[in-house]
Amino acid sequence: MLPEVRYRANAAVVALVGIRKKVINASNIELDTKMQLVQSLVLTKLFFNAAIWPALGAQEFKVMNTALMRTYRSAAKKWNYGHDHHVTDEQ
- Give the integer Cα–Cα distance in Å for 70 and 18: 14
pLDDT for 10: 93
pLDDT in tens, 15-64: 988 888 888 888 888 878 888 888 999 999 999 998 899 999 999 999 99
Encoded amino acid at 85, one letter: H
Task: Give CA–CA dist 36/19, Å, rounded.
Answer: 12
Pick 86 or 20 by higher pLDDT.
Answer: 20
Q: Give the predicted TM-score (pTM) of the model.
A: 0.73
**Distance from chain centroid for Cα 67:** 6
